[in-house]
């Protein structure tokens, strides 16, 4: 097996669904044994879709209500979902909590909320560093349960984890359907479309359109958003609503081209833009991003991610974020959108269902020193349940004004 890591490989899978992407450079892809990968792909290509295409269409419809502020979007969940969280007690707790988030935000903002969980498939992570120090030796970094294991002994990418990810996603979506059976609330799923062989194998062609049935909504992250490369190509081929993250280094002309490429039919409910600039630069950079986007005339929805531009490491080496910079970035984003006569579509948060201690601040007074108490995330630091509720109430009230 080829165990080297190459972040710029070309995966040549002959029986791929959407052939074009596999000919382009794809960042953040693990290198697998070719025969094993083929076996996994042919298994997945013949397995059950996780969501149905009428549901995907229905989300697009629902999102078309979010362009001019009629409804708000809340994308929420873990940075990296764990396979071990896929059990009834934890899923129940997550969905109960997400429902509390929805209600708090809805009551305060006086708007209906379109909920998209980072759940039932948020199992692959892009990483800036390929290796990390573990007791003096360099080991491959954790890349999400669908790629390798969090346990330092299981860091080699294993393609069979995609089959487990598919099974866990099916179990989770089944649980979500039961949970929402007696409510009029609809709950949608989304994840980063990072692991292209998996996304491609779950893509189905229906009436000359492709639907990625791994989730209702798919986005590509800051590290994969390159015009002319595999992720953008893949996303351009599917009919699902899609999102792109916009980080501090985004080239505005490239962003405009990506918008044209992904929403070439000028559809409403199709394209979500997810700025994640950071509280320090939001005032300086966001206005020019907004103006460049506006100039395209292409329908788009702004969903603010105040998490990923605000991460820092404490002296003890733990990744964290502060409630005050998260909140500030949101408030500043709302102001900038208003100044530019653009409407706010919603927010994208990483939040736990528990009282974790991963982000500092909030009424519970979590400090850098107390982060150790319940620091459980597999990847980025999440807001605790009470921190998330505080933020949603403040933002909701601000929006209602």
In the list ligand PEP, Mn ion, none, the entry touching 245 (Cβ below 5 to 8 angstroms by class) is ligand PEP
Q: Least distance from C-beta 307 to ligand PEP, angstroms?
A: 7
Q: Least distance from C-beta 276 to ligand PEP, angstroms?
A: 5
Q: Which positions ≥6 away from 280 have C-beta within 8 Å?
A: 309, 325
Q: Give 62 or 305: the residue with its C-beta nearer to Mn ion.
A: 305
Cβ 321 vs Cβ 357: under 8 Å: no
Structure tokens at 158: 């294993």
Phi first, then psi: what are they for 296, rounded to 5°? -70, -30
Q: Least distance from C-beta 274 to ligand PEP, angstroms?
A: 7
Q: Give 270 or 308: the residue with its C-beta nearer to ligand PEP.
A: 308
Place of tokens 């319940």: 374
Stretch that binds ligand PEP, among 65-73, 221-229, 234-242, 296-304 (CB under 6 A): 221-229
Q: Least distance from C-beta 325 to ligand PEP, angstroms?
A: 16
The whole-angstrom separation of Cα 41 and Cα 14 is 11
Q: Least distance from C-beta 46 to ligand PEP, angstroms?
A: 30
Q: Least distance from C-beta 221 to Mn ion, angstroms?
A: 8
Q: Which of 62, 358, 380, 390 binds Mn ion (CB under 5 A)?
A: 380
- Decide: is 308 part of the binding site for ligand PEP (CB under 6 A): yes
Total residues interacting with ligand PEP, rule: CB under 6 A: 9
How would you classify residue 363: left for phi > 0, otherwise alpha for psi between -120 and 50, otherwise beta?
Answer: alpha
In the list ligand PEP, Mn ion, none, the entry touching 275 (Cβ below 5 to 8 angstroms by class) is none
Structure tokens at 183: 């409510």
The whole-angstrom separation of Cα 141 and Cα 322 is 25
- Decide: is 79 part of the binding site for ligand PEP (CB under 6 A): yes
Q: Which of 199, 200, 222, 329 binds ligand PEP (CB under 6 A)?
A: 222
Which helix H or strand E contains 134, and what residues bound it? strand 131-134
Stretch that binds ligand PEP, among 207-215, 217-225, 235-243, 360-368 (CB under 6 A): 217-225
The whole-angstrom separation of Cα 72 and Cα 396 is 10
- The 270-299 contact track toward ligand PEP, x by CB under 6 A, reads ------x-----------------------
Stretch that binds ligand PEP, among 100-108, 152-160, 216-224, 358-366 (CB under 6 A): 216-224
Phi first, then psi: what are they for 230, rounded to 5°? -60, -40
What are the E-state strand segments in 169-249?
187-192, 203-206, 209-212, 217-220, 242-246
- Decide: is 79 part of the binding site for Mn ion (CB under 5 A): yes
- Do you know the residue count of the chain? 401
Q: Which positions ≥6 away from 14 have C-beta within 8 Å?
A: none
Phi first, then psi: what are they for 42, rounded to 5°? -70, -30
Phi first, then psi: what are they for 220, rounded to 5°? -115, 145
Q: Least distance from C-beta 125 to ligand PEP, angstroms?
A: 6
First CA to last CA across the chain, in angstroms?
59
Q: Give 276 or 321: the residue with its C-beta nearer to ligand PEP.
A: 276
Which positions touch ligand PEP (CB under 6 A)? 79, 126, 221-223, 245, 276, 308, 380
Which positions touch Mn ion (CB under 5 A)? 79, 380
């Amino acid at each position: 097996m080829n165990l080297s890591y190459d972040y710029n490989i070309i995966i040549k899978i002959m029986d791929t669904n959407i052939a074009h992407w596999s000919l382009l450079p794809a960042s953040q892809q693990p290198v697998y044994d070719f025969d094993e990968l083929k076996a996994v792909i042919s298994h997945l290509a013949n397995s059950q879709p996780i969501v149905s295409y009428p549901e995907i269409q229905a989300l697009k419809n629902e999102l078309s209500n979010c362009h001019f502020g009629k409804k708000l979007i809340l994308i929420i969940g873990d940075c990296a979902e764990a396979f071990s969280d896929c059990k009834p007690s934890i899923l129940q707790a997550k969905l109960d909590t997400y429902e509390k988030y929805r209600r708090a935000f809805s009551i305060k903002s006086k708007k209906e909320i379109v909920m998209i969980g980072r759940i039932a498939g948020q199992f692959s992570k892009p990483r800036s560093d390929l290796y990390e120090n573990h007791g003096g030796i360099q080991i491959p970094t954790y890349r999400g349960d669908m790629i390798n294991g969090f346990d330092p002994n299981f860091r080699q990418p294993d393609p069979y984890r995609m089959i487990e990810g598919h099974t866990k996603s099916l179990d989770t979506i089944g649980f979500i359907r039961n949970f929402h059976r007696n409510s009029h609330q609809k709950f949608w799923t989304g994840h980063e479309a990072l692991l292209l062989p998996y996304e491609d194998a779950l893509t189905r062609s229906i009436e000359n359109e492709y639907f990625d049935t791994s989730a209702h909504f798919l986005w590509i992250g800051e590290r994969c958003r390159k015009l002319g490369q595999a992720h953008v190509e893949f996303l351009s081929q599917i009919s699902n609503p899609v999102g792109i993250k916009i980080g501090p280094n985004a080239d505005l002309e490239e962003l405009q081209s990506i918008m044209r490429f992904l929403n070439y039919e000028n559809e409403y409910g199709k394209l979500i833009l997810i700025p994640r600039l950071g509280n320090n630069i939001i005032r300086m950079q966001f206005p020019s991003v907004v103006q460049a986007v506006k100039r395209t005339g292409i329908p788009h929805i702004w969903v603010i991610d105040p998490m990923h531009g605000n991460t820092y490491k404490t002296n003890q080496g733990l990744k964290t974020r502060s409630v005050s910079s998260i909140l500030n970035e949101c408030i500043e984003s709302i102001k900038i959108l208003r100044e530019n006569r653009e409407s706010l579509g919603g927010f994208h948060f990483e939040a736990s269902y528990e009282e974790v201690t991963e982000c500092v601040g909030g009424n519970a007074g979590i400090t850098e020193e107390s982060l150790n108490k319940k620091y459980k995330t597999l990847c980025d630091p999440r807001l605790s349940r009470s921190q998330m509720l505080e933020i949603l109430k403040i933002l909701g009230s601000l929006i209602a004004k």
